[in-house]
């Protein structure tokens, strides 16, 4: 997996309520969605940022930082689509890591080589969408030993057939823009 720093911001309560479905869009380099209490949640990609490698078991998310210009840049990208961001005040800012697998798809299921270990990861910024169903599928694996739908396309063992490709991918340090572009190209978008 490759991980990249990602920022998420929440506005204070807006005078006019923001009504929109959640929007996750590559052209804007991020996503927005209504948040509780008349707020907006905005997530921003930092496309030219290098991969972030966690090198210690002592790592904590609080060690991550992001330049203040990132929020300003993201607001400008969304300005035409979400005019309310131009005058918004910000209540909170969170910095975390987005993870991508070698093929850009989530990793979900049991690890055959380690009985009892189940993995759910590499959801990149799709966690809002994937996490509820991923939890359901993991629960089905644990309780029933199988899932109600075929999710073998996300199985961890799919990487075992191509160790050389994976080693080359993991050895390269690439920017988030490269990883996202490769992922979109592979999906045929």
Tens-digit pLDDT profile for residues 37-49: 999 999 887 767 7
Residue 181 pLDDT greater than 80, yes or no: no
What are the extents of the domains in the chain?
2-99, 107-187
Starting at the edge strand found earlier in the chain, the sheet holding 23-25 runs 23-25, 30-35, 39-44, 2-11, 90-100
Strand ranges, E, within the chain: 2-11, 23-25, 30-35, 39-44, 90-100, 107-110, 118-121
Q: How many whole angstroms separate alpha carbon 166 and alpha carbon 182?
A: 14
Q: Which pLDDT value is given to residue 46?
A: 74
Whether pTM > 0.85 for this model: the answer is: no
Higher confidence at residue 133 or residue 170?
133
CB atoms inside a 10 Å sphere around CB 162: 13
- Cβ neighbors of 21 (< 8 A, separation 6 or more) are 33
Q: Which pLDDT value is given to residue 146?
A: 94
* 2-99 homologous superfamily: D-Amino Acid Oxidase, subunit A, domain 2 (3.30.9.10)
């Amino acid at each position: 997996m490759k991980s990249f720093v990602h920022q998420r911001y929440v506005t204070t309560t807006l005078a006019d309520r923001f009504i929109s479905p959640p929007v996750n869009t590559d052209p804007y380099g991020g996503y927005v969605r209504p948040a509780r209490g008349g707020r907006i949640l905005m997530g921003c990609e930092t496309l030219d940022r290098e991969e972030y490698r966690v090198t210690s078991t002592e790592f904590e998310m609080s060690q991550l930082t992001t330049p203040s210009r990132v929020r300003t840049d993201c607001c400008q990208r969304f300005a035409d689509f979400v005019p309310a961001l131009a005058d918004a005040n910000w209540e909170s800012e969170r910095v975390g890591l987005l993870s991508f697998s070698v093929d850009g798809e989530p990793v979900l299921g049991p690890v055959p080589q380690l009985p009892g270990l189940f993995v759910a990861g590499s959801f990149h910024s799709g966690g809002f969408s994937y996490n509820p169903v991923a939890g359901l599928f993991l629960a089905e694996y644990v309780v029933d030993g199988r899932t109600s739908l075929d999710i073998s396309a996300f199985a961890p063992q799919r990487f075992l057939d191509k160790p050389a490709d994976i080693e080359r991918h993991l050895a390269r340090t690439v920017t988030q823009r490269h990883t996202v572009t490769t992922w979109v190209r592979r999906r045929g978008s």
